[in-house]
Structures are given as C-alpha cells and as structure tokens.
Amino acid sequence: MSARFDVDTARKDFPILSKPVRGRRLVYLDSAGSAQKPRHVIDSVRDVYENDYANVHRGLHYLSERASARYEEARETVRAFINAPEQHEVVFTGGTTEAINLVAWSYGRSVLGPGDEVLITCAEHHSNIVPWHLVREQTGCVVKAVPVQDDGTFRLEDFARLITERTRVVSCFHVSNVLGTVLPLRDIARLAHAQGAVVVVDGAQGIVHLPVDVQELEVDFYAFSGHKLYGPSGIGVLWGRAELLEAMPPWQGGGGMIDTVTLSATTWADLPDKFEAGTPPIAQAIGLAAAIDYVSDIGIDAIARHEQEVLLYATQRLASVPGLSLVGTAAGKASVVSFVMDCAHPHDVSTIIDQYGVAVRAGHHCAQPLMDRFELSSTARASLALYNTTEDIDILVESLEKVREIFQ
Ligand code: 7TS
C-alpha cells in the first residue's frame, strides 16, 4: 500500500478523463452516480472476452473451466477486500439494489410477521426503502425511520430509542449519497443485536470511500455495487453471515441454483450458488475484481486521505459562493457535497455548468423522503472520487459564478 498518492499519475489511468467535453477539460463530479473506469478494469473485461470467455459452472470444456476459475477468483478478491470470513458468504448480484431486494425478499419475508419492525433512516436511497415497503405488503410488518438533524447528523440515541424488541431488521446506509454522513455501524449493530435484530448495510457509497471490514463493523449483511467502485455496471455484491444465508430460502429460481430438480420438487445448491440463479455477470465480476485490485494497489486509506483534502477544499470554496447553501455538513462526512443556490433551480445549475464541462447530478438522488425532510425538491450534488483535484473544484466554483451572473 503506497503512503503517498499522486492524483496526476492516477488520472492518467482513466482514459475518459483526457477526453474533452464540449471542448473543455472534463470535470467529473458525479462519481456517486457512477465512477469512471481505469484502464486496468477496461483491459481486464476485454481480456476475459478475448481469452477466457464461456458460461461458468456448466461446461467441462477448457474455456468454461477458465471462466469459472476467474469468476471464483473474483469472489475471493471481494472476500479479502471486505475481510469476510468465508468465500461462500459472498454472493454476486446485479448491484446494490438487487442485493437489498435479495435480503428483503428472502430474509425479510421469512422472518417478518405482522407488527414486526424494520428500521431504516429517513436518508435512505429508494433501493433501501421500496423493497421493505414491498415486503410490508406481504408480511404486515412496520417500517420505521430514524430522523436526521439539520446538519445531516444522525443521533445514536435515536437509534437506541427506535430499536425495540419488535425490531427484526435494521437496514441503513454506510455513507449517505446525498449528505455524505457516515453512520456508526458498529454502535448501531450492537444496539440491534441486543434486541435480536439483524443489520443490513447499504454500502453503495461506503465501499468507495472507507475501508470496510465486515467483521469489525459487526454487521450481518453488506451490499454494494461494482460501478461506483470503478468497476463495471451490472455487478454487485451481497455479503451475509453464513449462518443467516444458509437458513434463508432462495428468492429466484433457475439454472445454477439447484441441487436436483424433478417435475414435482427442487432442492437447492449450497452457498453461494443458491442465490445466483441464471447466468451470472461473468466478465463484470472479473472486472470488479480488477477494480478492487486497482483500489487496493493505491490503498483505500490513501484514497480516503486524498478525497478528504479535496472535500475540505470544496466545502470551503462552495460555502463562500454567495447564495449557496450546503445540505449536509456532518463532522467526518465522506466525499459528497450537496448544495442549493438561491438564484437557480438545481436542474438549471447542472445544465448551465455542464456547458463548462462540469458534470454534477441534480435531482432528488432517489432519496425523496430526505428531500421532504429538508423541504427541498432537489439539490445539486458534487461527488468526489480518487481522480478529482482542487482544480476541478476551482472550475466548479467558476462555473457557479456564471450561473449567478445569468440569474441575477
Ligand atoms: N444505495 C445508495 C446509497 C446509492 O447511492 C445508490 C445509487 C444505490 C443504493 C443503488 O445502487 P445501484 O447500483 O443498485 O443502482 N446511487 C445513485 C446516486 O446517488 N446517483 O445515481 C445513483
């Protein structure tokens, strides 16, 4: 792991960053939406298709064996990255959304009954709200939400108050995709476990900015997507404790997840195959492993330190733009900066600064309950990745000055 991180060198690893946008330098500040890909990932995906591609776990021929071996090596790479105890606890999914749906449909539907409680927070992405609403319709469970303070902070005492003996599941983000707030997962897990509830973590943003050790966090499930971690889209991970996954029924049926099938009955395969029905995202899993290798080579701590420097700079510069308000200023937050301007709607802000090559996301960020809480319909959001620089922030701030000139 390198102690010093050189952002200019790292930027050269990402081919897209040197392509002009509207004739200007690309300032890509939408990595919370999806991150750009380093050449190492792009090359590894191409390499699979050029050299080692076939369906996995089905053929006994050379290419199927090669593809299967690489697919399973990818699982080991993920296991090591999150320090999961066992390789078979790592289930490949299509993304965070599918991973949370797996937990909701399989675990949730089997343990939840009328009046049982699922505790989320008011800042969840819709993918950690809607699956629980769907399961509520089937089970009669109750979905409650932990409130947020004005600065984007969550109070542990609110978790303590809302986790009761009726709570069966606590499902919450690691890093908020709107506020950047980091939740104290281990403290939450201890409160939940004391009441016999399990903890599901939406790690879509957490895995990108923080070192994740699922054993140290003491959580029960951790879900994330490849595409936000510099890997391909269409691949994600659900890690779960073996004893929980083993007791859970499959939620999708098909090839690859069975032990035996007759016309009248099916028995399931062991973990992790039980939860991987159908042809999995093969090249994508291998590409995700390449992304993890890339990130691990630089060092997630070095990346986090760099991002924190740029975040501090961005926070200070944006706070000095007249009429701009930051949404989410919790201490220790990760690299997501949401803001609103008094002179223009976030959609207009985003459209105008796009003319200067600046890509930010504007909208509700799939977190409508959080928007309601702050009485906003949307925000603009600059989200950072390892390749962002203070120069990117300077260009962002200059382009926001243009917005002010237009609207005032
Ligand atoms: N959870 C969080 C916290 C997220 O930020 C996202 C995606 C998801 C879940 C869903 O991930 P997926 O890969 O399954 O789609 N967030 C965003 C975003 O903030 N802007 O675009 C996508």
Cβ of 363 closer than 6 Å to ligand 1, yes or no, is no
- Mean pLDDT, to the nearest integer, of 384-404? 98
Residue type, 286: I
Is 366 among the catalytic positions? yes
Choosing from 171, 228, 360, 361 the residue with most ligand 1 atoms within 8 A of its CB, the one to mutate for a pocket test is 228
93: Cβ below 6 Å to ligand 1?
Answer: no
Q: CB–CB of 299/376 below 8 Å?
A: no
How far, rounded to the nearest angstrom, does the alpha carbon of residue 209 sit from its chain's CA centroid?
10
| Predicted TM-score (pTM) of this structure | 0.98
DSSP 55: -
Which whole number is the average pLDDT over 352-357? 98
Nearest CA to ligand 1 atom 6: 204
Task: State both tokens at 364.
Answer: 């509700």
What would the pLDDT profile of 64-86 be if each residue is shown by its tens digit?
999 999 999 999 999 999 999 99
Ligand 1: nearest atom to the Cα of 98:
14
205 lines ligand 1 (CB under 6 A): yes
- Tens digit of each residue's pLDDT (9 = 90 or more) over 6-59: 999 999 999 999 999 999 999 999 999 999 999 999 999 999 999 999 999 877
pLDDT tens digits for range 137-167: 999 999 999 999 999 999 999 999 999 999 9
Distance CA 178, CA 345 (A): 17
Which tens digits make up the pLDDT trace of 305-326?
999 999 999 999 999 999 999 9
pLDDT of res. 255 = 94
407 Cα–ligand 1 center, Å: 31
CA–centroid distance, residue 125 to ligand 1 (Å):
7
What is the 30 CA–ligand 1 centroid distance (Å)? 11
Closest residue by Cα to atom 18, ligand 1, is: 33
- Look at residue 174 in the predicted model and tell me its pLDDT: 98
DSSP H helices in 52-194? 62-82, 96-102, 109-111, 130-139, 156-162, 185-194
Q: 106 CB less than 6 Å from ligand 1?
A: no
Is residue 53 within 8 Å of residue 77, measured between CB atoms? no
Gap between the Cα atoms of 146 and 28, Å rounded:
32
Dihedral class, residue 251 (left if φ above 0, else alpha if ψ from -120 to 50, else beta): alpha
Q: 177 CB less than 6 Å from ligand 1? A: yes
pLDDT digits (tens, 9 = 90+) for 260-312: 999 999 999 999 999 999 999 999 999 999 999 999 999 999 999 999 999 99
| Ligand 1 centroid – CA 35 distance (Å) | 11
**Residue at token pair 């009954």:** 113
Which residue owns the Cα nearest ligand 1 atom 17? 33
Interval 364-384 mean pLDDT? 98
Q: Write the CA distances from 404 to 187, 317, 345, 363, 393, integer angstroms.
A: 43, 15, 11, 19, 17
Give the bridge partners for 225, in sequence order: 236
Whether residue 269 contacts residue 256, with contact meaning beta carbons closer than 8 Å, is answered with yes
Residues 122, 172, 343, 366: which is the catalytic one? Answer: 366
| Residue of 366, 364, 383 lying closest to 375 (CA atoms) | 364
204 Cα to the center of ligand 1, angstroms:
6
pLDDT at 337: 98
Tell me what pLDDT residue 3 has: 60
